Chains A and B, each alone.
Chain A
Amino acid sequence: MIEVINLTKKYGDLVAVNDLSFKVEKGTIWGLLGPNAAGKTTTMRILTGYLAATDGKATVSGYDVFEQPNKAKKITGYLPENVPLYPEMTVLSYLDFVCEIKQIPGSKRKEALEKAIEISGLKTVRGRLIKNISRGFKQRVGVAQALIHEPQILILDEPTIGLDPAQIIEIRQLIKSLKGEHTIMLSTHILAEVTQTCDGVVIINEGQLMASGSLEDLTASFIEKDGVVIRIRSETEKAMTLFKEIPGVENVTRRDDEINIEWSQGKDFKDEITRLIVEKGLGLIEMKPLAMNIEDLYLKVISGGVKQ
């Protein structure tokens, strides 16, 4: 479990993190979202003990990161945005060094090393110098480094940045497979990543908490209307007037070739609309429930939406 209470960090006059509080439940994956310079990296650096906070409190699995730094660091794995690698070392000697400074006892070291190499898919490059391996492998060495001591808490700062789409999917699956045993917090710019891997999000902007909660709760709280989005083959304008005439439908709007039809919550006009489309021969291509996607949610929250 990760808990942050009234955390504040100032760099001189600049307030990077302002009175931030949130909580990540044990065994879940949470995303830390926000525009550039929102304070994501600073928050993570405080959680891992790299920076000291100006004010407030942060605990990982009950250990205060300021009061009991060594205990907290022992159970935390951290992948910084710039993967901390020594280019002149081989993958194996690097991970061996990490084992030593993470204080994995000598008897368990080999096992931990093999397991980390196995999980992160580094078998083929284990003997190579880090400076000679590709960006994707470097990222994986970073992941291996973060989880080699089987930490309860994993903090990943933009784990998929700079990877190709196939590698992104691999890293994502890797992160998902770690869920349960580890409590994971990751920061990202890619919103799709959040819907695919995370159980909840913390959205911050200019160091302040804008919203936090599970994905379902958050989207539900932002949706005011029910409705459908449809796409038809032709005569979009004509169709729109038709839909407007249905009693109870409150709003019909068009976005490119999609028509949004909204009505107040509790009602349902899906059958009616379907019947109309078939009767008039409009040629239905697609019909989906009107749901707020993560992009809309994010933009709404960042632009000063409801504070939760």
Chain B
Amino acid sequence: MKNILAITKKEIKTYFTSPIAYVAITVFLVLVGFFFYSLIWLFNSQSLQMARNPYYYQQLNINQMVYSPLFHNISIILLLMLPLLTMRLFSEEKKTGTDELLYTSPISVNQIILGKYFASLTVLAVMLLFTGILSVFTFSYGNPELAPILSGYLGLFLMGAAFIAVGLFFSSLTENQIVSAVLTFGTLLLFWILNWASYSAGGMWRDVLNYLSFFQHFDDMTRGILDTTDIVYYLSFVFLGLFLTHSVIQSRRWR
């Protein structure tokens, strides 16, 4: 545990002593702020219109009209940004030769991988925590339900965790950061849109494609549905990513 922490500490330091983390978090928050503003504006104007009709007015729901689309928007931003946060994790070590220090030190490959993984998770958590400020406004001027918001955040975090695991894996494959980022982004996007193909596929394939898609599992969570299948899906993605990373690094010694 101590060894994992040593690596995590070092990686977080690298994120925050270079402009990487600040730029990423700032850009992320500006975009999220913009989406939030647009959604709230839309919600407001619709509320005004509906005010004359009590039946429709009852149907207005800030969770469904603001938070659910906001979470989807955030997930797209994460899809675009997380590959850039993970691309250097192993690539740079390999390129500069610092991997020789890590792999000849008395710490295991697993500890190195987990250390780096937790560092990226920390940055993700910081990004998401900052967006909590937005809820201060919705809760002071409206009455949204808390539970669906929390499940939405859990969904975002789990999905981000899966993204990072994929990014970590591709970073271990190449010493070129651009290649690592492009491969990560391509893979994530493919898994995101996999359910599009399910419309044309029939029978069992439809279920398989739907199950594999990031989108399907996330959609439930933004609407407050917590299903263990979804959680297991993301966790197995994380596990697979970390396992493959481990295999790549171990095999490097034998090449």
Q: Are B106 and A50 in contact (CB under 8 A)?
A: no
Given known A11-B255, A84-B98, A97-B6, contact A48–B14 (CB-CB < 8 A): no
Given known A88-B14, A101-B3, contact A74–B106 (CB-CB < 8 A): yes
- Specify the main secondary structure of chain B where it touches its partner: helix
- Using a CB–CB cutoff of 8 Å, the interface residues on chain A facing chain B are 11, 45, 48-52, 70-71, 73-74, 76, 78, 80, 82-89, 93, 97-98, 100-103, 145
List of 3 A-B pairs having minimum Cβ-Cβ separation, nearest first: A82-B97, A100-B6, A84-B101
- Using a CB–CB cutoff of 8 Å, the interface residues on chain B facing chain A are 2-3, 6-7, 9-10, 13-14, 17-18, 96-108, 253-255
Q: Are B254 and A84 in contact (CB under 8 A)?
A: no
Q: Are A73 and B105 in contact (CB under 8 A)?
A: yes
Q: Are B100 and A86 in contact (CB under 8 A)?
A: no
Q: Are A97 and B10 in contact (CB under 8 A)?
A: yes
Instruction: Please give the distance in Å from B68's CB to the nearest CB on chain A.
Output: 40
Given known A73-B106, A88-B14, A100-B6, contact A145–B101 (CB-CB < 8 A): yes
- Give every chain A residue within 8 A of B255 (Cβ-Cβ): 11
- Give every chain B residue within 8 A of A101 (Cβ-Cβ): 3, 6-7, 101-102, 105-107
Instruction: Please give the distance in Å from B251's CB to the nearest CB on chain A.
Output: 10
Q: Are A50 and B98 in contact (CB under 8 A)?
A: no
**Considering the chains assembled together, what is the distance between the CA atoms of A193 and B154 in angstroms?**
61
Q: Are A48 and B104 in contact (CB under 8 A)?
A: yes
**Considering the chains assembled together, what is the distance between the CA atoms of A95 and B203 in angstroms?**
59
Q: Are B106 and A102 in contact (CB under 8 A)?
A: yes
Q: Are B104 and A50 in contact (CB under 8 A)?
A: yes
- Give every chain A residue within 8 A of B18 (Cβ-Cβ): 88
- Give every chain B residue within 8 A of A145 (Cβ-Cβ): 101
- Give every chain B residue within 8 A of A80 (Cβ-Cβ): 97, 100-101
Residue in B closest to A97 when the chains form the complex, CB atoms: B10
- Give every chain A residue within 8 A of B3 (Cβ-Cβ): 100-101, 103
Q: Pick the contact of A49: B17, B104, B254 (CB < 8 A).
A: B104
- Give every chain A residue within 8 A of B101 (Cβ-Cβ): 80, 84, 98, 101, 145
